Amino acid sequence: MMKRFGINVKNIDNVEKVIIQTDTKEYVFDTAEVTVMEAQGQKTFQIIGEPTVKNRGDETQDTQKEDIKLIIEQTGKSEAEARKALKETNGDLAEAILKLTQS
């Protein structure tokens, strides 16, 4: 009946992971059933499963801590100097290291 109205529905096989990111959250479906419905040139995806939800700011903080640690290891500078250089270079790790090794 749906085909009569120009609606096609099919499952996507072998889905390994689905990730939905917003500006503040990340929804990760490690196992999910995904169905795609196409009607009037538009595709709608249905995801069935239970996601793991994380705050996206947590990743940024973890990454920044790792970057600061690496800068300290590479330059021998203090944590405060490493933080300042990373901020001044807008998070560019390589540029922060160069900045501290040249000064």
CATH code linked to domain 3-50: 2.20.70
- Our CA angle for 60, 65, 70, nearest 5°, is 125
| pLDDT confidence of residue 7 | 87
Q: What is the pLDDT of residues 71-89, one digit of tens each?
A: 999 999 999 999 899 889 8
- Our CA angle for 57, 69, 52, nearest 5°, is 30
Domain layout of the chain by residue ranges: 3-50, 56-102
Mean pLDDT score, 15-31: 93
Q: Which CATH class is domain 56-102?
A: mainly alpha
Q: Is the pLDDT of residue 47 over 90?
A: yes
